[in-house]
Amino acid sequence: MTLEIVIRVALYIVLAPIIGGLLEGVDRVISARMQGRQGPPLLQPFYDLNKLLHKQTIVVNSIQVLFIMAYLIFTVFTGALFFGGGDLLLVVFSLSMSEVMLVLSAYSVNGPYSAMGAQRELLQMMCYEPMLLLLAIGFYVAQGSFMVNDLISLDRPAVIALPGMLIGFAFILIIKLRKSPFDLSTSHHAHQEMVKGLTTDISGRDMGLVELAEWYDTTLMMGLICLFFVTADPISYLFGVIACAVIFFLITLIDNTHPRVKAMRMLGLSWIVVLVCAGTNLLILNLVL
């Protein structure tokens, strides 16, 4: 079992940035088609990352570099913990710590746009963190364990007992991945009114490390979607991949068809969805079980 865990963690560390980069490339291609453009090639994110890693880095202060490195390390650790079959509750807490490191890197430069982006990122964390915590609790109530290894070895997929959790998680993914209409703190597209918001004062190699961390993070989010479908039956992994493809396409569609909303509207919408979908699902589970 130990060797299997080591192999899974190693595969995550090697393959996650490839998967994350390909997903970003697919997002760009689909977005371009939706907007009637030719768009960049599928591998353009990898070309961009290579360019960033070879550019001159303008460092505002040394503590910013430390926080960026911590953001990458915590993100990789979180994914390794998840794909290694660890505690889902610890995964949620570790993921929160990685986001805090990114926010601190923005605050450390004392720049107006970075500070505004950091404030908005904290607000976005308030929107999706409750859902992530409820997600871990929901899996424990429905499946009887926080350990990912236990959850994927059962005979019944979690989605049967947790459909509301899946809907709530899919909704907060739009916020977590900073897609429109909830791309308030920063954006991958050229329609951010604060320059680049959270990452305005990050450049060169450091910006490349942030992009790399986001690819690891995207792969982790897809893994959490798969967790709803994966069981002891190997064919269940196919259903997980299909669910990831459908949800990712819907997020891209929403990103290209909805204008940005105000921060308080985002907060209200997210908590309503979490309460109605995840909260009701958890209440029903407690009444039935």
Tell me what pLDDT residue 199 has: 85
Q: Which residues contact 52 (CB under 8 A, 6 or more apart)?
A: 204, 205, 207, 208, 211
In this structure, what are the phi and psi dihedrals at residue 54, rounded to the nearest 5 degrees? -105, 0
The proportion of the chain whose per-residue pLDDT surpasses 70, expressed as a percent, equals 97
Contact yes or no for 228/240 (Cβ under 8 A): yes
Tell me what pLDDT residue 160 has: 93
User: Cα 186–192–197 angle (5° rounding)?
Assistant: 40
| Spacing of C-alpha 182 from chain mean position | 13
Tell me what pLDDT residue 190 has: 58
pTM of the model: 0.93
The H or E element containing residue 14 is helix 2-34
Q: Summarize pLDDT for 149-160 with one digit per residue, the tens.
A: 999 998 899 999
What's the whole-number mean pLDDT along residues 32-37? Answer: 89
User: Cα 77–208–123 angle (5° rounding)?
Assistant: 65
Tell me what pLDDT residue 197 has: 76
Q: Summarize pLDDT for 227-285 with one digit per residue, the tens.
A: 999 999 999 999 999 999 999 999 999 998 888 888 899 999 999 999 999 999 999 98
pLDDT-derived band at 139, boundaries 50, 70, 90: very high
More confident: 36 or 250? 250
pLDDT-derived band at 193, boundaries 50, 70, 90: low
Tell me what pLDDT residue 192 has: 58
pLDDT-derived band at 10, boundaries 50, 70, 90: very high
More confident: 56 or 18? 18
Q: Summarize pLDDT for 84-125 with one digit per residue, the tens.
A: 999 999 999 999 999 999 999 999 888 888 888 899 999 999
Tell me what pLDDT residue 189 has: 66
The CB density around residue 141, as the number of other CB atoms within 10 Å, is: 16
Tell me what pLDDT residue 82 has: 96
pLDDT-derived band at 194, boundaries 50, 70, 90: low
Residue with tokens 């430069």, as numbered in its chain: 109
Tell me what pLDDT residue 60 has: 74
